[in-house]
Amino acid sequence: MMIIFIALISLVLAVLAVRGILLYRRFLELNEFVEGLAKGGEGLGRRYYLKGKRGFSKVLYNLSVLAANLQEQNRENEACKNRLSVLLKHIPDGIALIDSRGRIRSLNPALENLLYLRSHAISGKGLAESVNVTGLGELLSRARVSNTESKETLAFNSKFLEVTATPFADVETSQYAGQVVLFRDVTADRRIDEIRKDFVANVSHELKTPVTAIKGYVDTLLEGAMDDREDLSRFLNVINFQVGRMEQIIKDLIELSKIEFGAMTIEKKNVVLSDMVGKVIALYEEKAKAKGIFLRPDISEDCPSVQADPGVFTHILSNLLDNAVKYTDSGGVVVRAREGENYSCVLVVQDTGIGVPKKFVPRLGERFFRVDPSRSRELGGTGLGLAIVKHLVMAMGWKMHIDSDPGKGTSVRIYIN
Ligand SMILES: Nc1ncnc2c1ncn2[C@@H]1O[C@H](COP(=O)(O)OP(=O)(O)O)[C@@H](O)[C@H]1O
Ligand SMILES: [Mg+2]
């Protein structure tokens, strides 16, 4: 009896010991699992789905569900962060986030490029102090004090930046927490605006000159000069010349706007260069002869023909020859064509004329730009010829390059593909 009792006790103790050991092992597993959760990362990926819904199994099951939820939330946070960083990275405008003390908390690559900054070098520093944008400090203070969006166009080096500062509040305390500052490069818009204003002023001026002259001659005629047949004829000729100038300016302007609005169709076909150049040279032969200068073609065998719209090509060549003959008083003009390295043909209109001072060469092709406006006007020029050529060359998909040496001559190269 005693033996049976001892055996039973031993059995119970043995069972308890085994359960204790099992329990301890479970406890260690649980501890390891919870440690994994606490560390985050891969630890959140572990799962415990044990049979039974009680005791440790239940705790482990609930912890697994918690881990799965946390992992999902982490993924969502990560995706959100990525989306935000992609947005900031690819947005073309510069953006900076500053805190309530004006210190940089974050900025995007566009702003780094725009203001030549390196974010790691200025992170945590004051935005206004870190960049050389005149008036930025005042703009940020104004936005801060008024607690409303403030916008202004500020100068930075040779650029113009439209800067918008928008204050924001802390979500919990509703206290001022900083500003989002947006920088947009509006230099090109400004430039276009200036070009437009210049253009309107130039057109008015160019048209006013002949109109004033016409008015003067008409007044003189009406005051009695028309009774003298010689005066009448002389003045009418002058009026005719001025009307011709106005007509040419208007024609050129209409042409430019047609090209710019894309209202011009280009139809390329095979054009034999010697024919085309010969035809245009013939238009200016008489004028060249009268000035005592030569005018000749020099078309190489290696590029006999090109793909071009014949009307547009004629127009380009005529304008270039007109200038070459007009601005050359001795020597002459050659129209040369050679095969180019990366082009089917390079066409050069080269003269031995007065040339253009180096500092003005980049301005050739600007509307109404003339080295000597009165000389150009006297010679019947409008100052729009090269602007038209520049646009036509572009419309053909070609390129143009002008070289000039004052006193030696000018060469205009057209790269035909
Ligand atoms: N071949 C050239 N030689 C010297 N100057 C030139 C030549 N071509 C153009 N230019 C300069 O460029 C200006 C602009 O040319 P363009 O637009 O054709 O105007 P325009 O011929 O009506 O004066 C001219 O007024 C002249 O000063
Ligand atoms: Mg011209």
Predicted confidence (pLDDT) per residue in 36-52, tens digit: 777 777 777 777 666 66
Question: What is residue 49's predicted lDDT score, i.e. its pLDDT?
Answer: 66
Residue 30 scores a pLDDT above 80: no
Measured distance CA(130)–CA(134) in Å, rounded: 12
Q: Average pLDDT of 393-408?
A: 95
Region of residue 397 (left: phi > 0; alpha: psi -120 to 50; beta: else): left
Compute CA distances 19 → 26, 27, 66, 330, 367, whole Å: 10, 12, 27, 117, 97
Look at 313 and 5; give whichever has higher pLDDT.
313
Which of 58-72, 122-136, 205-219 is least confident? Answer: 58-72
Compute CA distances 105 → 69, 158, 173, 177, 330, whole Å: 31, 27, 19, 11, 68
Residue 88 scores a pLDDT above 90: no
At a CB cut-off of 8 Å and minimum separation 6, what does 293 contact?
A: 325, 328, 329, 330, 331, 332, 333
Residue 147 — very low, low, confident or very high, per pLDDT cuts 50/70/90? very high
Measured distance CA(394)–CA(265) in Å, rounded: 13
A 10 A CB-CB count for 135 gives 14
Question: What is residue 43's predicted lDDT score, i.e. its pLDDT?
Answer: 73
Q: Kindly identify the ligand whose nearest atom is closest to the C-alpha of 206.
A: 1
Residue with tokens 């030549």: 116
Query: Are 242 and 206 in contact, with CB atoms under 8 Å apart?
Result: no
How many A from CA of 383 to the centre of ligand 1? 7
Helix (H, G, I), strand (E, B) or coil at 403: strand
Residue 322 — very low, low, confident or very high, per pLDDT cuts 50/70/90? very high
Question: What is residue 330's predicted lDDT score, i.e. its pLDDT?
Answer: 96
Predicted confidence (pLDDT) per residue in 268-321, tens digit: 999 999 999 999 999 999 999 999 999 999 999 998 999 999 999 999 999 999
Predicted confidence (pLDDT) per residue in 340-397, tens digit: 888 989 999 999 999 999 999 999 999 999 999 888 888 888 999 999 999 999 999 9
Average pLDDT for the chain: 90
Contacts 24+ apart (CB under 8 A), 196-199: 199/367, 199/368
Question: What is residue 53's predicted lDDT score, i.e. its pLDDT?
Answer: 63
Residue 109 scores a pLDDT above 80: yes
How many A from CA of 321 to the centre of ligand 1? 11
CB-based burial, 349-359: b 16+ in 10 Å, e otherwise: bbbbbbbbeee
Residue 198 scores a pLDDT above 80: yes
Amino acid (1-letter code) at residue 199? F
The Cα angle at residue 212 between residues 208 and 216, in degrees rounded to 5: 175
Atom nearest to 384 CA in ligand 1? 17
Residue of 370, 389, 408, 414 best suited for mutating to test ligand 1, as the one with most atoms within 8 Å of CB:
370
- Rounded to the nearest angstrom, the gap between the alpha carbon of residue 284 and the centroid of all alpha carbons in its chain is 41
Query: Are 68 and 159 in contact, with CB atoms under 8 Å apart?
Result: no
Residue 217 — very low, low, confident or very high, per pLDDT cuts 50/70/90? very high
For ligand 1, residues with CB inside 6 Å are 323-324, 327, 351, 353-356, 364, 369-372, 376, 381-387, 410
DSSP 359: G
Task: Give the chain's domains with CATH numbers.
Answer: 2-85 (no CATH), 91-185 (3.30.450.20), 194-260 (1.10.287.130), 269-416 (3.30.565.10)
Question: What is residue 334's predicted lDDT score, i.e. its pLDDT?
Answer: 98
